[in-house]
Amino acid sequence: MKDDKVIGAVLLLIGIASIFNALQIHTRLFNSDPGPALFPIFAGTILALCGLGMMVSAFVGAGGGTNVRPSRDEWRRGTVISVLFIAYGVILWLFGFYIATPVMTYVLYHVLAGAQRRRIWIGVVFAAAVTLSVHLVFGAFLNTLLPTGLLI
């Protein structure tokens, strides 16, 4: 179980780092108060011990299960959709809901439908319908503030 050795080592390091970081906090409200450092130390200790346990289990061969290894094609598709999510976040931040949502809804439709099933006009109507529905539910009915763009 090579993966568990690596995962265990990473968790052990994160646990130690969080304990070390928490130890830099020196604030106490009362004499008997353990202060704000206690809880991160508590959590970091559990994490470090679990990381160590995973490593030891993997070394003695007691670890079970296997980590899924995506194929090259799965990596490519996963990366494409992840980049689209990031792009939606950035465009939403810069241009706001009313520009980002129709554009990115269409792009997501275009990519997810694939070459055989996509129709441009259907995608355009679908993007407009999604944008309008969200506007009506959140903006008009619930009267909440929809994302406004930094540049608008």
Partner 1 sequence: MDTMFSSLVVLLDPVTITIIMVATILGIILGAIPGLSGGLGVALLLPLTFGMSSEVGLAMLISIWVGGVSGAMIGSILLGIPGSPSSVATTFDGYPMTRNGQAVKALGAAIIASFLGTFFSILIAMFLSPLIARLALQLGPWEYFSLGFCAISLVASLSRESVFHGLAAAAIGLLLASVGFSPIDGFPRFTFGSIFLNGGFDLIPLMMGVFALRQIVTDYAEEQKQAPEVNVRDIRGFGVTMKEFIDNTGNLIRSFLIGLWIGFLPGMGSALSNMVAYAQAKASSKHPERFGKGCIDGVFASEISNNASVGGALIPMIALGIPGDGTTAILLGGLMIHGIQAGPLLFTNNPEVVYAVFLTALISAFFVLFVQFFGMRLFPAILKIPYHYLYPGIVVLAFVGVYVGSSTAFNYVLLLGFAGLGLVMLWARLPISPFLLAFILGPMLELNLRRGITYTDEGVIPFFTRPVSGFLLAAAALSIVWPYVWPPIRVRLKKRAAERGSA
Quote the strand ranges of the chain, DSSP E: none
Contact with partner 1 (CB under 8 A) among 2, 32, 72, 121: 32
Report d(CA 49, CA 45) in Å as an integer: 6
If one counts every other C-beta atom within 10 angstroms of the C-beta of residue 124, the result is 14
Q: Write the interaction track for partner 1 spanning residues 121-150; mark x where CB under 8 A is met and - where it is not.
A: -----xx--xx--x---x---xxxxxx--x
Report if residue 38 touches partner 1, rule: CB under 8 A: yes
- Which tokens belong to 74? 């799965």
Contact with partner 1 (CB under 8 A) among 23, 112, 120, 132: 112
Report if residue 103 touches partner 1, rule: CB under 8 A: no
Nearer to partner 1, 112 or 120 (CB): 112
Contact with partner 1 (CB under 8 A) among 72, 115, 117, 152: 117
Contact with partner 1 (CB under 8 A) among 16, 93, 98, 124: 93
Please state whether 144 falls in left (phi above 0), alpha (psi between -120 and 50) or beta. Answer: beta
**Residues β-bridged to residue 96:** 148
